[in-house]
Structure formats: C-alpha cells, structure tokens
Amino acid sequence: MAKVTFIGHSAVEVQGSTHSVLIDPFISENPVAQVAPEDVHPSAILLTHGHFDHLGDAISISQANEIPIVAPFELAIFCGEQGAHEAVDMNPGGRRKFDFGEVHFTKAFHSSSFEGRYLGHACGIVFTTDDGKVIYHSGDTELFGDMELIARFNAIDLALLPIGGNWNMTPMEAMEAVRLLKPKAVVPIHYDTFPVIEQDAEAFKAAVEAETEVKVVILKPGESYEL
C-alpha cells in the first residue's frame, strides 16, 4: 500500500512500504502548507524543475536528513553547489532503481531556472514505490500528446496534474491529459495557492468523472490518499 500526502501546491510526500520520497518540497514559503520543513523525514527528494515553488526547501531538507536530491542534470549540479547532501542527476528518458523506489524522468513542456540561472529541462517524474505503485507527477507542464507514450510504458495508478492555469494546464487541458494518461485516479495540484491560479477543483472532478472512468481525489493541504 502506498500513501500520497498533499503538502500543498505541487509538493507531495509519497510513502511506500518502508521508504518515502518528497516531490517538489515547496514548504516554508508555501502559503497553504500545514507542515514545516523540519516535520518531514523522507528517504529522498525528487525535483521536477528549478522554479522556486518546486525547489523550495530541498537543500535544507537534504542536509537535515542526509538524503539525496534526484533532479534533471543542470538542477542537480546546482543543488550540489548549494550544499545538498547528495545530488543525483538524471534527464528525460532515464529510469533508475534506488532502494527507495524507481525514478523515471519524462518530458514536460515548461521552463526551468532559479534567480536567473538556467537549470536545464523541466521534467515530469514517474515514481514507482518500493511496493510497486506507479505515481506520475507531471511537474509544471502544458498538455502534450506524448503523454500517451508515458501511459504506454507506465501503468499509472495515480496522476498528479496541475489545473491552475497561467503557468501550466487549465482544467480543460488537464481533462485531456487524463484521457491520454489513463490513470486509475487523479489528484489535481498547483491551484488555489495564489490568486492567479484559483480554480474550481470540484467542477474539474465532476467533469472528469462524467466523461471518463477515472476517479478524481481532491486533497486539501495535509490530507492523504491511500492506494
């Protein structure tokens, strides 16, 4: 059994049978987070891209827990320079087994930088827990047709998809992403954190569940979903 806890925005903790990973740990500056960076003790941190609302507290959590950060190449180099305990570089197409689970980087249609420094490709991540549950975190992205290819090679149990718009998909594009990805369930993310990305998640849930077989799980910050 795996458990996904929504910290808020795009930050989630994925708990497998013995290990957990933190994806995009934007916590201390996150206006909706209910926890502090000191409260989380994952086995690893996975980053989709370098924007402040995804890199977040990755460096301090890596140091405090003596855990690796796994990230796209240029971002991993940057994390190493910033003092991460360990930085592991990957890039789209890569698939690697760790003791905490398998990490597969996919493409995303977005940018990646921090305070003006270019940080390589923005990515999505397919993470398989140490007990075999497959979770796709798209990162920030526009809808793209190759989501269909991600579904062909990965039987997705849960997809975490942005619906906020402005910097990534609106609910309309996220609905089409659900059709392409064919996950068992979807958790909408990256909305209602700031006024510019306010969205009606209940309307998204109603629309997706009316038009597809996919279940939409709306999580408030701090809530979890077991799969």
Interacting residues toward Ni ion by CB under 5 A: 51, 140
133 versus 190: smaller Cβ distance to Ni ion: 190
Helix (H) or strand (E) holding 225: strand 224-226
Q: In whole angstroms, how close is the CB of 16 to Mn ion at the nearest point?
A: 25
Rule CB under 5 A: is residue 74 a binding residue for Mn ion?
no
51 versus 133: smaller Cβ distance to Ni ion: 51
4 versus 169: smaller Cβ distance to Mn ion: 169
Residue pair 102/96 in contact by the 8 Å Cβ criterion? yes
Rule CB under 5 A: is residue 140 a binding residue for Mn ion?
yes
Residue pair 35/7 in contact by the 8 Å Cβ criterion? yes
Q: Which of 195, 202, 227 has its CA nearest to residue 32?
A: 195
67 versus 197: smaller Cβ distance to Mn ion: 197
Q: In whole angstroms, how close is the CB of 140 to Mn ion at the nearest point?
A: 4
Distances (CA, A) of 168 to 10, 141, 173: 12, 5, 9
Rule CB under 5 A: is residue 24 a binding residue for Mn ion?
no
Q: Where are the alpha helices (DSSP H) in the chain?
A: 52-55, 58-65, 73-81, 147-153, 171-181, 201-211
Q: Quick one: which of 6, 42, 45, 53 contacts Mn ion (CB under 5 A)? A: 53
The item of Ni ion, Mn ion, none sharing an interface with residue 192, based on CB under 5 to 8 Å by kind, is none
Residues at the site binding Mn ion, with contacts judged by CB under 5 A = 53, 140
